[in-house]
Amino acid sequence: MNFQQLRIIREAVRRDFNLTEVANALFTSQSGVSKHIKDLEDELGIELFVRKGKRLTGLTEPGKELVGIVERMLLDARNIKRLAEQFASSDQGQLTVVTTHTQARYALPEVVARFKAAFPKVHLALHQAGPKEIVDLLRAGEADIGVATEALDGEADLVSFPWYEWHHSAIVPRQHPLASKGNFSLADLAEYPLITYHEGFTGRARIDGAFADAGITPDIVMSALDADVIKTYVELGLGVGIVASMAFHPRRDEGLVMLDGAHVFPVNTTRIAVRRGHYLRGYAYRFIELCSASLDEAAVRAALSPPRDELE
One-letter amino acid identity for 73? M
Quick one: pLDDT at residue 9?
A: 84
For the entire predicted model, the pTM comes to: 0.71
Per-residue pLDDT band at 153 (split at 50, 70, 90): very high
Quick one: pLDDT at residue 40?
A: 83
Strands 93-99 and 145-148: what pairing? parallel
How high does pLDDT run on average in the chain?
Answer: 89
Domain residue extents for the chain = 3-82, 89-165+269-311, 168-265
Per-residue pLDDT band at 312 (split at 50, 70, 90): very low
Domain 3-82 identical in fold to domain 168-265:
no
Fold of the domain spanning 168-265: D-Maltodextrin-Binding Protein; domain 2 (3.40.190)
Q: How far apart are CA 114 and CA 108, in angstroms?
A: 10
| Mean per-residue pLDDT, 153-171 | 94
Q: Which residue has the higher pLDDT, 10 or 74?
A: 10
Per-residue pLDDT band at 158 (split at 50, 70, 90): very high
| Mean per-residue pLDDT, 162-178 | 96
Strands 145-148 and 158-166: what pairing? unpaired
| Mean per-residue pLDDT, 107-119 | 96
Question: 3-82 belongs to which CATH class?
Answer: mainly alpha
| Statement: residue 271 has pLDDT above 50 | yes
**Exposed e or buried b for every residue in 183-203, given b needs 16+ CB within 10 A?**
ebebebbbebebbbbeeebbb
Fold of the domain spanning 89-165+269-311: D-Maltodextrin-Binding Protein; domain 2 (3.40.190)
